[in-house]
Amino acid sequence: MRNKNTTQMYGEVKSVEKLTPTMIRVVLHNGELANFAGSNATDAYVNARFVPAGSPVEAPFGPDDLEGLAPEHRPRPRRFTIRRWDSQRHELTIDFVAHGDVGFAGSWAQRATPGDRLQFDGPGGSYRPSSQVDWHLIGGDESAFPAIAASIEALPAHAQAIAFVVVDGPEHELDIDAQADVALTWLHRDSSPAPELLLPEAVSSAEFPQGTFDVFVHGEAGEVRAVRRHLVGDRGVDESTASISPYWRRTFTDEAWREVKRGWMAEQARDTVPS
């Protein structure tokens, strides 16, 4: 059983829906969701713990339950954006990228059925489109799409945004319920000879509207880094007005990525220091 003072909580899968060939929406309810705080950030996320198949552990679990557990049975932490929180019904929606039969989180979503439990803590997150700027620059891949969509949906009708989202192809595009004036460009990996360049090249060749803007660019680490280098180095973007974050790294598991992330971020900061 879990310690009483823990910040962890769990929900049960209410429904699972395939939004695109590689995007799975899981709605959680019941469990301890009545205690969930929600967040004003449009990139709010939970730190969920995925129990590997074959592990004897079941949510809710606490530190005592993990003592002496074989490494391959230990729950794996992964961050996932809150696509929607319904504070009346206590329902939490998460959209998972299904990226093959690898890893723990994406494969969990592919197997999920009603009644399955997911334990998590949070929420974290810090971005919300500023009401003090003339327009918003938004970009990323499908892992950032839940935050991108939540951010765009939070914009009032008079706001203006330019957005770029990288997905495999047209059948991976999703609707956004936007009130604002949003120029959204979908970038397709399947028809590109260099998919990792799609986002940086789209941003660097974009004609920016006049006026002040804020930035939200999250997604694959190499792509995000290239966009940052351009925005800060070439367009003079002040990083205090920019939320630029690598969510995952191609070919790295989340564990391997977290091991090198600090060094990567330090190197990334040096990308734009004039020599």
Ligand X SMILES: Cc1cc2nc3c(=O)[nH]c(=O)nc-3n(C[C@H](O)[C@H](O)[C@H](O)COP(=O)(O)OP(=O)(O)OC[C@H]3O[C@@H](n4cnc5c(N)ncnc54)[C@H](O)[C@@H]3O)c2cc1C
Let me know: does 217 contact 164? Beta carbons within 8 Å. Answer: no
| Shortest separation between residue 206's beta carbon and ligand X, angstroms | 24
Polymer length in residues for the chain: 275
Stretch that binds ligand X, among 25-33, 74-82, 207-215, 261-269 (CB under 6 A): 74-82
Q: Please provide residue 152's backbone torsions phi and psi, each rounded to the nearest 5 degrees.
A: -65, -40
Build a one-symbol-per-residue string for 144-183: x at contacts with ligand X by CB under 6 A, - elsewhere.
Answer: --x-------------------------------------
Nearest-CB residue for ligand X? 103
Please report the DSSP string for 231-260 in residue order: IIIIS---GGGEEEEEEE-TT--HHHHHHH
Q: Is 80 in the site for ligand X (CB under 6 A)?
A: yes
Amino acid at 237: V
Cα 75 to Cα 55: distance, rounded to the nearest angstrom: 8
Cα 241 to Cα 228: distance, rounded to the nearest angstrom: 12
Q: Which of 85, 96, 213, 216 binds ligand X (CB under 6 A)?
A: 96
120 or 248: whose CB is closer to ligand X?
248
Stretch that binds ligand X, among 92-100, 163-171, 176-184, 234-242 (CB under 6 A): 92-100
Give, in order, the Cα–Cα distances in Å from 19 to each of 13, 24, 78. Answer: 16, 6, 21
| Shortest separation between residue 100's beta carbon and ligand X, angstroms | 7
89 or 250: whose CB is closer to ligand X?
250
What residues numbered 200-259 form the site for ligand X, per CB under 6 A?
247-248, 250-254
Helix pair 221-228, 198-205: axis angle to 10 deg: 20
91 or 95: whose CB is closer to ligand X?
95
Let me know: does 81 contact 147? Beta carbons within 8 Å. Answer: yes
Q: Is 103 in the site for ligand X (CB under 6 A)?
A: yes
Q: Is 45 in the site for ligand X (CB under 6 A)?
A: yes
Q: Which two tokens stand for residue 87?
A: 């504070």
What residue ranges bind ligand X (CB under 6 A)? 45, 78-81, 95-97, 99, 102-106, 143, 146, 247-248, 250-254
